[in-house]
Amino acid sequence: MPKRKSRPQKRRRRSIIAFEMIRLDRTATEPLHEQLYRQIRDELKSGKFSEGSSRLPSSRALATDRGISRSTVRLALSKLHAEGYLRSKPGSGTFVANLLPETFLTADQPKTNEPIQRPARISDRVRAIPDKRVGNQFDLGATGASPGVSLVASIPAVDEFPIAVWERLRAQVLAKKGVNLLRYSSNRGDMDLRKALAAYLCDFRAARCQPDQIVIVAGMQQAMLISAMAVLNPREAAWIEDPCYQQTRRVLSLAGVKIVPKAVDTHGIVIARSTKEPVPRMIYVTPSHQFPLGVTMSFQRRTDLLNFARAHNAFIFEDDYDAEFRFVGPPLPSLQGIDNAGRVIYAGTVSKILCPSLRLGYIIAPEQLVDSFVKIRSAMDQHSSPIEQATLARFITEGFFLSHIRRMRKIYAERRDFFIKQFNELLGDYFTLQVPEAGLNIVAWLKHEEDFPMINRITFDIGVRPSALSFFCIQAKLKPAFVFGFAAWTPTQIRESLVRLASALRNHSKDPNYGRQSR
């Protein structure tokens, strides 16, 4: 017996750590050697290694196994050596250090409890959010676009953001206001910013408001969440457009609201209501430019909607996310500006005008809702960064906001025209473009519905990634189409992407198995 036991032990001493959990993402901004270093370190910290199972694979084996260069592996391993996670035994290889750095640091702390084996109890609230993403899929943000992928919907040209101006203004406000910008601050938002935004919205969106009605928020989603929580009780009904911005569904689900999808026609959201449908307490709309179809709500539909809201004691949530980018005809006034009954909650965001990472947006609240909104914001997270708010106020009052909008409108108009021309030339056999009057996206309807799975696969494979229109549909059964973004790419990049897509589709017509091997 003892002899038999010694054999597996010997084998274990030689066994090499497999590092099967390592996942390297070539599209991530984090360098590969950093990813490798971090993931090996985390695995080592798990402390699963005994004397017999602590040998690392050779750098050559690790490089071959992961399809990366040896120098990438060496960089990661030398950092782990330097930090004390590894030790070398001349002639034998590299091993996990006997005492890992974390073990030193936590040596006198009591051991944590055994991990719970049962699956964690998750609330119904989490399950109710319609979001299938898991793990590092959340690292790609709302658009799901990794760097290097093109023609993704809803991405603005952030490389045109005037970083130097922003930095200068930021330094100026910090020098002027100093520690005052470091304290907890107003739950309503920076007073200078509210004044600047009220003036801008009255002048350029024909809104009717006072600075006291403005509440600064962390973007459109927070505006929706605060509004829904303020005017709806759980399980009360909210109408949303179908198809709809995917984050709207997620936010309203989080608020516990009953979502009633409403069709969209050529005038905007369809108002007709069957007697079986609950009366909505809030109606979410994108009148300037419906997301994702691009329809601008007609004047008649706007007045019908306001009358409906008044008659049913409902609020309208006007998501004016990219109204600044209108390319055809005169600017249209906001719905809020033609509302005489305090029924419209207007919300805007700097995500498309400036950049999404600022996480700044604004609500014009009907007067009777202001305090409720601020109360929720205070309970939620107090306020957005006072430093960025004060910088934005300066950015607006010194004229940079308007000049940036004008400059971007020109750039986007050029990109849009270029995209439409190239698209029709290169891909006109496959798609019909539905060109909207405004916005940064264009819907392309398939000429042959049966092409949908093939095009869906090919766009994924070649990294030209419009969204399938069906992704935004709740009950709507629309013909197959894709939503293309054009705003964030130069004409050269647009042409290169469209040529790539057109040639992949042509190759597929010649050989239907084209591209399949790469999946």
Q: What's the N-to-C CA distance of the chain in angstroms?
A: 50
Q: Which is nearer to ligand PLP, 319 or 324 (CB)?
A: 319
Nearest approach in angstroms of CB 321 to ligand PLP is 3
Closest to 322 (Cα-Cα) out of 198, 471, 441: 441
| Range 317-335 burial, b when 16+ CB lie within 10 A, else e | bbbbbbbbbbeeeeebbbb
Nearest approach in angstroms of CB 384 to ligand PLP is 12
Alpha-helix runs per DSSP H in 85-140:
101-105, 124-128
Q: Which is nearer to ligand PLP, 351 or 384 (CB)?
A: 351
Nearest approach in angstroms of CB 218 to ligand PLP is 8
Q: Are 359 and 470 in contact (CB under 8 A)?
A: no
Nearest approach in angstroms of CB 154 to ligand PLP is 3
Q: Which is nearer to ligand PLP, 297 or 462 (CB)?
A: 297
Nearest approach in angstroms of CB 328 to ligand PLP is 19
Residue 357, beta-bridge partner list:
none
Distance between CA atoms of residues 207 and 285, nearest Å: 16
Closest to 305 (Cα-Cα) out of 277, 347, 264, 275: 264
Nearest approach in angstroms of CB 360 to ligand PLP is 8
Q: Which is nearer to ligand PLP, 150 or 221 (CB)?
A: 221
Residues 6+ apart with CB under 8 A from 363: 214, 215, 217, 223, 226, 227, 345, 346, 347, 373
Q: Which is nearer to ligand PLP, 308 or 321 (CB)?
A: 321
Q: Which is nearer to ligand PLP, 286 or 336 (CB)?
A: 286
Q: Which is nearer to ligand PLP, 52 or 144 (CB)?
A: 144
- CA 179 from centroid of its chain's CA atoms: 32
Report helix, strand or coil for 243.
coil
Nearest approach in angstroms of CB 11 to ligand PLP is 55
Nearest approach in angstroms of CB 221 to ligand PLP is 4
Distance between CA atoms of residues 108 and 104, nearest Å: 8
Question: Which stretches of the chain bind ligand PLP, using CB under 6 A?
Answer: 154, 219-221, 245, 286, 291, 319, 321, 349, 351, 356, 361
Angle at which helix 491-510 crosses helix 400-427, to 10 degrees, equals: 20
Q: Which is nearer to ligand PLP, 483 or 502 (CB)?
A: 483
Q: Which is nearer to ligand PLP, 154 or 187 (CB)?
A: 154
Closest to 292 (Cα-Cα) out of 50, 481, 9: 481
Nearest approach in angstroms of CB 377 to ligand PLP is 15
Instruction: Output the CA torsion sign for 288, 285, 137, 480.
Output: negative
